[in-house]
Amino acid sequence: MSSIHNPNQNHLLGALPTAEFDALAAYLELVPLRLGESLYEPGEKLQHAYFPTTAIVSLHYVTESGASAETAGVGNEGVVGVSLFMGGETTPSSAVVQTAGHAYRMEGQRLKEEFSRAGLFQRLLLRYTQALMTQMAQTAVCNRHHSLVQQLCRWLLLTLDRLPTNELIMTQELVASMLGVRREGITEAAGKLQRAGLISYRRGHISVLDRTGLESHACECYAVVKKELIRLLPDVKYRQDSTTTNA
């Protein structure tokens, strides 16, 4: 029986050679992630790591005054829960599902054991973590210096790269909370992009019409993050995707 779900949809899992993958496969459990669901809260010890396939998770921080901002996003290119193998077990931020979908999860203890084997899996996890750091650093710079329109373009592109379609199921309110700005600001910025013919949207749906146009309106931050991800985790498949090869 072949399902539409497959661990290979996650790039980290998909990059593992057969031997490494087989050692892990038994510990991967497919779980649905609902929009708005929290995978962990600040200071809460992580139970599982999540390897998203179709879902997107936002690493989010909420200030004492109730304002919030995304510090990085995680989709099929990475894993939620790096603090498990980094040794901290928890973080001051939370992880919230930004786009509903699926992920494969693994017991935290198991992940730590696999990490400690110091094989290719460890190497991939560490390189991914560095890419995640780049994303955080770039978010800091972007928050400081770039306009809302530029930031919205960056964010749309990063999200789009993690989706199979060109449509985001997402209200302006939600986008605003990701970028840490007012909802009205998104209305205005999205209106500009729609008038420019780059996107079109209706209640809770945003469609990207002109990806190249978006890229030219985005700040450099998108390209920096993307380039660094490709550099650190080249899209090499070490393993043939045997589970989906059926004629």
Binding residues vs its own copies (CB under 8 A): 59, 61, 63-65, 67, 69, 71-72, 82-83, 85-88, 91-93, 116, 118, 123, 126-127, 129-134, 136-141, 143-146, 180, 219-220, 224, 227-228, 231-232
DSSP structure class, residue 201? E
> If contact means CB under 5 to 8 A according to the sort of partner, which of DNA, its own copies, none does residue 234 touch?
none
Which of the ranges 3-11, 107-115, 124-132, 195-203 carries the binding residues for DNA, by CB under 7 A?
195-203
Binding footprint of DNA, residue count (CB under 7 A):
21
Residue 83 interacts with DNA (CB under 7 A): yes or no: no
Residue 148 interacts with DNA (CB under 7 A): yes or no: yes
Residue 182 interacts with DNA (CB under 7 A): yes or no: yes
**Cβ neighbour number for residue 88 with a 10 Å cutoff:** 12
**Residue 29 β-bridge partners:** 105
Which residue is associated with the tokens 């992880």? 95
**Is 229 in contact with 162 (CB distance < 8 Å)?**
no
Nearest to 224 by CA among 135, 161, 124, 155: 135
> If contact means CB under 5 to 8 A according to the sort of partner, which of its own copies, DNA, none does residue 87 touch?
its own copies
**Distance from C-alpha of 158 to C-alpha of 6, rounded to nearest angstrom:** 22
Shortest distance, CB of residue 152 to DNA, whole angstroms?
9
Residue 235 interacts with DNA (CB under 7 A): yes or no: no
Helix (H) or strand (E) holding 168: strand 167-169
Shortest distance, CB of residue 228 to its own copies, whole angstroms?
6
Where would I find the H helices in 18-81?
18-25
Radius of gyration of the chain (CA): 18
Q: Give SS3 for 17.
A: coil
Q: How many CA atoms lie within 13 A of 93 on its CB side?
A: 18
Shortest distance, CB of residue 52 to DNA, whole angstroms?
23
To 10 degrees, the CA torsion angle through 93, 101, 99, 213? Answer: 130
Q: Give SS3 for 66.
A: coil
> If contact means CB under 5 to 8 A according to the sort of partner, which of its own copies, DNA, none does residue 188 touch?
DNA
Q: Give 32 or 43: the residue with its C-beta nearer to its own copies.
A: 43
Residue 141 interacts with DNA (CB under 7 A): yes or no: no
Shortest distance, CB of residue 190 to DNA, whole angstroms?
6
Judged by CB under 7 A, which of 103, 131, 190, 219 binds DNA? 190
Residue 147 interacts with DNA (CB under 7 A): yes or no: yes
Dig out the tokens for 208 from the structure.
């990207």
Q: Give 221 or 233: the residue with its C-beta nearer to DNA.
A: 221
Contacts with DNA, residue ranges (CB under 7 A): 147-149, 171-173, 180-185, 187-191, 201-204
